[in-house]
Amino acid sequence: MSRSTNYKEQIKSLLQHADICIDGNRPWDLQIHNPDTYGRILGEGTIGFGEAYMDGWWDCEALDEFIARVLRAEIPSRIRTWQDKIFFTKAWLLNRQAGVRSLKVGRHHYDAGNDLYERMLDTRMIYTCGYWHNADNLDDAQENKLDFVCRKLNLKPGMRVLDIGCGWGGAAKYATEKYGVTVVGITISKEQVKWAEASCAGLPVEIRLQDYKTLKEPFDCIFSLGMFEHVGFKNYRSFFEIVERCLVGDGLFLLQTIGAKRSSVKLDPWIEKYIFPNSITPSIKLIGGAIENLLVMEDWQNFRNDYDKTLLAWHSKINDKWHELPAYNAEFRRMWNYYLLAAAGTFRAGNSQLWQIVLSKRGTKHRYDTPR
């Protein structure tokens, strides 16, 4: 038996645990175009698998379902490479979100191009999970989510509110227009600042290019949507200490973050390299330890299935618009599609969650009845 054939048999045996066939006729079956794919997977793990897709070595009609099945069967844990060990060691030893490293994700991902995000996101440019209850399109799902956030925070006219990781300013703009508050939004992306300042012009919204670590101002309420994934487990406690320092009185803090079902100090190597450098998905244990004896948890909600649907909506929109984006080559498009569909698969499999957590400084004086 040749080495290539042996590698194929190993992969075939692994995929049987997930009811996936090689060159099968079901949407979630793999279609292999280059026989070197098998050795690349076994030698390089998930990063080799993703890069082989970017190179056009394999395809799958329902890539999201393929990933969900692979994760449910825990196949990645059966393939361990030396690269995984090095990546894990570096993640444990280094604080990859300290100093200039904390700014890398802004340049690498969020500055990728406003033209790209304009064609993928909703009209408010919200790059976090929507809330699809009673919604049948992306715009309504994001409006639902923004209103959900504002109601959970009990926003009132005249409040001064902080948005940590404000993106393109959509949430800040919504809060000022619908709830009469003033908002300070901070981001580490120059492209987001340009967009947000133009979008929020004339409104009581201040957009800053600022790292959260430098915050020392009082706010009545604080929220952070989809930014905590870039904080890093070694910085969780200091992040919440800054929130506690800036939050006044009975003000509330709402954190929306992707969550992991088990604690880990590293992200998937392919996601780390191509999408979110120096990032990590928090767990209940890591968040709980970071807020212990500092903040009071008032509410914790999970709606992970909504992120599966949001990612598929983004994928559908961007694929309808690729012809309007000639600056992005075929390899980038395959990378981006892999990112969106693989992410959808992680939520469908239950490996990733979507949490909204409401915290107070010392417990609210009055009963907190969270909206649902």
> Residue 22's beta-bridge partner residues?
30
Cα separation, 143 vs 9, in Å, equals 49
Is residue 292 included in any domain, yes or no?
yes
Which pLDDT does position 254 carry in this prediction?
98
Query: Looking at residues 247-254, what average pLDDT do you find?
Result: 95
Beta strands in 126-250 (DSSP E): 160-164, 182-187, 205-209, 221-225
Q: At residue 94, does pLDDT exceed 80?
A: no
Residues 150 and 69 in one domain: no
Whether 141 and 218 share a structural domain: yes
The least confident of 88-102, 240-254, 280-294 is 88-102
Q: Who contacts 237 (Cβ-Cβ below 8 Å, separation ≥6)?
A: 289, 290, 294
**250 φψ region: left (φ > 0), alpha (ψ -120 to 50), beta (else):** alpha
E strand or H helix that includes residue 54: helix 37-54
Are residue 133 and residue 37 in the same domain, yes or no?
A: no
- What pLDDT score was predicted for residue 101? 43
What CATH number is given to the structural domain containing 227? 3.40.50.150
Q: Is residue 325 part of a domain?
A: yes
pLDDT at 336 over 60: yes
**Which residues, in sequence order, are CB contacts of 327 under 8 Å at separation 6+?**
113, 115
Q: Edge-to-edge, what's the strand order for the sheet holding 252-260?
A: 205-209, 182-187, 160-164, 221-225, 252-260, 352-360, 296-302
pLDDT-derived band of residue 86, with 50, 70 and 90 as boundaries? Answer: very low
Provide the number of structural domains found in the chain: 2
Residue 109 confidence class, pLDDT cut points 50, 70, 90: low
What residue type is 19 in one-letter code?
D
- 370 inside domain: no
- 84 band by pLDDT with thresholds 50, 70 and 90: low
Q: Look at residue 97 and tell me whether its pLDDT is greater than 80.
A: no
90 domain-assigned: no
User: Final residue of a domain: which of 80, 108, 143?
Assistant: 80
- Mean per-residue pLDDT over the chain, rounded: 90
- CA dist 102 and 285 (Å) reads 23
Three-state secondary structure along 111-134? Answer: CCCHHHHHHHCCCCCCCCCCCCCC
Contact in structure between 268 and 258 (CB atoms under 8 Å)? no
pLDDT tens for each residue of 194-229: 999 999 999 999 999 999 999 999 999 999 999 999
Whether residue 160 is found in the same domain as residue 212: yes
**What does the pLDDT read at residue 82?**
44
For every residue of 308-324, DSSP letters joined together read: HHHHHHHHHHHHHHGGG
Q: Are residues 114 and 241 in the same domain?
A: yes
Query: Residue 320: which residues within 8 A CB-CB, separation 6 or more?
Result: none
According to DSSP, the residues that pair with 353 across neighbouring strands are 259
Q: In this structure, are 196 and 250 located in the same domain?
A: yes
Q: What is the pLDDT of residues 119-142, one digit of tens each?
A: 999 999 999 999 999 999 999 999
C-alpha closest to that of 103 among 271, 220, 234, 230 = 230
Same domain, yes or no: 165 and 122 = yes
pLDDT on residue 370: 86
Q: Could you tell me if 262 and 132 lie in one domain?
A: yes
Q: Per residue in 161-173, pLDDT tens?
A: 999 999 999 999 9
**Which are the contacts of 29, defined by CB distance < 8 A and separation ≥ 6?**
20, 21, 22, 23, 60, 66
Among the candidates 18, 46, 80, a domain finishes at 80
160-164 vs 296-302, strand pairing mode: unpaired
Find, among 164, 212, 165, 209, the residue nearest to 191 by Cα. 209
Pairwise CA distance, residues 294 & 57, whole Å:
50
- Please determine, for residue 309, whether its predicted confidence score (pLDDT) is greater than 70: yes
Higher pLDDT, 277 or 315: 315
Instruction: With beta carbons less than 8 A apart as the criterion, state whether 225 and 185 touch.
Output: no
Residues 65 and 114 in one domain: no
Residue 365: inside a domain: no
C-beta of residue 82 within 8 angstroms of C-beta of residue 47: no
Q: What is the pLDDT of residue 372?
A: 83
pTM value > 0.95:
no
Confidence of residue 77 (pLDDT cuts 50, 70, 90): confident
Domain that holds residue 248: 99-360
Model confidence at 88: pLDDT above 90: no
